[in-house]
Chain A
Amino acid sequence: MLTVQGLDAHYGLAHILAGIELTVQRGEVVVLLGRNGAGKSTTLKSIIGLVRPSAGQITFEGQGIAGRSPSTIARLGLGYVPEERRIFTELTVRENLEVGRQKPRQGVPHWTPEKLYALFPNLAEMKDRPGGRMSGGEQQMLTIARTLMGNPRLILLDEPSEGLSPLIVEQMADAIAALKRDGMTVLLSEQSLHFAARVADRAYIIEKGRIRHEAGMTALLADADVRQRYLAV
């Protein structure tokens, strides 16, 4: 469904990504694991078009999307949830969802605010609250809900567990599991192996802008050596 080949990216003169290769199949939850500054966010940003790739191909549902604008890519059914959440703080929960709304898309579930309030019950209690007056966990739910309003075929989730309390992390994992049951395809980035183990089928390990290792989640959990080498802090 999504294929990335030989992806390079720069910030100014700094070479950040070098030859990233990855694929995501329909219905899969794939995790990009790596330490701080490994290039996880940059990879996701390059896919959605917020960072312009300097080389490489990105194919989504058979279409080349490298170099296109984020809005064009998003309208092909690729949802993006940023690490910094980027909630519209002046807008209410309801209005935040409205900004994310896109036309129903063939072959994927059609999301409405009601369905999202059912998935994230916390949000249902604060429909008219401005985004700026929500807790970090609530904002994280809102940013995912907002992206789902676009009825995506695949979502890119950048570190959904970052900075959240253990309880909220569990809720987040449940929500992703629920999405997966409904057939959603997910590419997420994580530092937490624990969280990744809860939700993902397969993992890529990224370090210094290169993919170092690829494995099924169960295999990775069994492989102490790789974990030690790339993930231990």
Chain B
Amino acid sequence: MDIVVVQFLTGLASASSLFLVASGLSIIFGVSRIVNFAHGSFYMLGAYLAWTLVERLPYGPLGFWGGIVGAAAIVALLGLVMEFVLLRRIYRAPELFQLLATFGVVLIVQDATLWLWGPQDLLGPRAPGLRGAVTILGQRFPQYDLLLIFIGPVVLALLWLLFTRTRWGTLVRAATQDREMVGALGVDQKLLFTTVFMLGSFLAGLGGALQLPRESVNLQMDLTIITDAFVVVVVGGMGSLGGAFLAALLIGVLHAFGIVVFPKITLVLIFLVMAVVLVLRPYGLMGRKPGPVAATVGLVTPLIGPTPRALVWLGLVAGALLVLAPLFVGDYTLTILSEMAILALFAASLHFMMGPGGMASFGHAAYFGLGAYAAALLMRQLGLGMPLGLIAAPLAGAAFGLLFGWFCVRLSGVYLAMLTLAFAQICWSVAFQWVELTGGDNGLLNILPSGWAQTRQGFYWLALVLSIAGILLLRWLIRTPFGHALRAARDNPLRAEAVGMAVGRLQWAGFAVAASFAGFAGGLYAYFKGSVFPTFISIPRSVDALLMVLLGGVDTLAGPIVGAVVYTGLHEQLMSLTDYWRAILGLIIVVLVVAFPQGLAGQARDWWLARNGGRA
């Protein structure tokens, strides 16, 4: 009993920081409609900056608390810079491009943090005056955690006052509903957005800084917290501070208990809770059905027309050249070409979901990774080889696609996308934590292809043929009645329902199809690399896929292929050039989004229209 109480209190203490971060994310999203991936980076920066400030300032209450608040204030300024330099230029861009841009910032901040503070974990001092513990029911409980328990509700109350009792708060609430109208009433939206962004960033920074006495400061904090914050926001209901608070308590307490009772499956537990909440209340505990503005991902694109004859010829020539490639290129190039082929299939599967399916996924790597693990586990556990592995991989992808998709298709737009991300993170943590089965961080090694495919050429041909076959199959699917129905459901769900289509079922099926092709690509990738690691499922890999699709454009089937080729090549080049390739990649993403807010393909289409007499 006593341990239960203490764990409960520990949960409440963690909930406070989580609430700060999630409320910041939610406030920013409310007004700007931008899902700010970099919010987790601000949390991490808050912790690092607090570490530095507290180390530098004289130890004492003033130095400590000054350091904490100072760190949050610096983060708020960084938020201001980011809004001013980046977001302001892309408010009109489609949501996914905005998201990519903020992910670019995540990459930049990661490398900047690595460069400034180094790779080792940092430990901060205890809070002066709160270093001890109190005894609760015979159990020791840190004084600092007791303070944290109070900080959450206090911040909630302050925010509530701010939003209901000040003109600024009233404007923010109004803008959350209809920012255009707020502008037409003469309110300077730029100022409003900037201040909202500063407040949100401040909360993230404070959340991170407050963790200083509790846990080590490290480079993984950003993506860990952003996933938790997404879960909190989805469970609590987007835009609801009260909901975020409740959900943060729920998740915080679950974490605390999970660590004691089932350390390995804490995240699975959280997944179950999230699933139950979303089944009962699709828009979260205290959320409301979003208006149409919030629900669209801004990617509804023209139908894919028949392929122009020239492109068919080009494709055939390219295909022939690719088949003959081993005759005139070396091993290194073949390896890269194999990777490109597999990733093109992976990107095409995401394209199927986003383009015809109209569902954006931030967590598509889940199915890729699950396919890879399925193939690898068959080999390690049962000694079954590649042919069966390549059958199991898409099945695994499809199975989990059915499972996760069942929840996801109940939502739409960014809500759906956030949920896909949360599922992917859960898979990742299972792969990471279930060491007995997956080998954890060490991965599963020696996943060899069948003998004839163990040469570079052999495997290259295999990857090429299977990837092209997969892509052609997807292309065929888009043109079947199923594909047409899927697009009809995407373009006008209400009308599709009205003519008797089961929109939810269709999307569910589309989700599973996309997942199974991703799983297949993952299986191939496992044999290609000869090993499988949790990174196959990580957020960066999901973002890779998004980048390939968006880089190439959602409009055409060639898009994901071009995207995969360009992106893989770029990635390879950067990695060989510098250790800080993440930052460079992030910078490239940011610059691309700012320069071409409609995407490369959108830009090309506009140019084409302008040149062909359409109105520019």
Contact = CB atoms under 8 A, between A and B. Distances in A.
A90 B171 CA distance: 12
Interface in B451-510: none
Interface string B161-174: 00000010011011
Nearest to A151: B186
Interface in B595-616: 614-615
Given A90-B173, A91-B170, A95-B170, A50 B615 contact: no
Contact of A50 (B180, B188, B189): B180
Given A13-B615, A71-B189, A98-B167, A82 B181 contact: yes
A100 interface: yes
Contacts of A71: 183-189
B185 A91 contact: no
A69 B187 CA distance: 11
B177 interface: yes
A113 interface: no
A115 interface: no
A88 B188 contact: no
Nearest to B288: A90
Size range of the chain A interface in the assembly: 20 to 34
A88 B184 contact: no
Interface string A90-133: 11000110111110000000000000000000000000000000
A50 B184 contact: yes
Contacts of B614: 13
Most buried by A among B167, B176, B183, B184: B184
B55 interface: no
A183 to B, nearest CB: 20
Given A13-B614, A71-B189, A98-B167, A91 B173 contact: yes
Interface string A134-158: 0000000000001100100000000
A80 interface: yes
B169 to A, nearest CB: 9
Given A13-B615, A89-B177, A99 B184 contact: no
B178 A150 contact: no
B177 A99 contact: no
A150 B181 contact: no
A75 B177 CA distance: 21
B174 A99 contact: yes
A130 to B, nearest CB: 11
B186 A86 contact: no
Contacts of B183: 69-71, 74
A170 B180 CA distance: 30
A208 interface: no
20 contacts: A10-B615, A13-B614, A49-B184, A70-B184, A71-B185, A71-B186, A71-B188, A74-B183, A80-B185, A90-B177, A91-B174, A95-B173, A95-B174, A98-B167, A98-B170, A99-B171, A99-B174, A100-B186, A102-B186, A150-B186
Given A86-B178, A147-B185, 19 more contacts: A10-B615, A13-B615, A50-B180, A50-B184, A70-B183, A71-B184, A71-B187, A74-B183, A74-B184, A74-B186, A75-B186, A80-B184, A90-B173, A90-B177, A91-B170, A91-B174, A95-B174, A96-B174, A150-B185
Interface of A: 10, 13, 15, 48-50, 69-71, 74-75, 80, 82, 86, 88-91, 95-96, 98-102, 146-147, 150
Interface of B: 167, 170-171, 173-174, 176-178, 180-189, 614-615
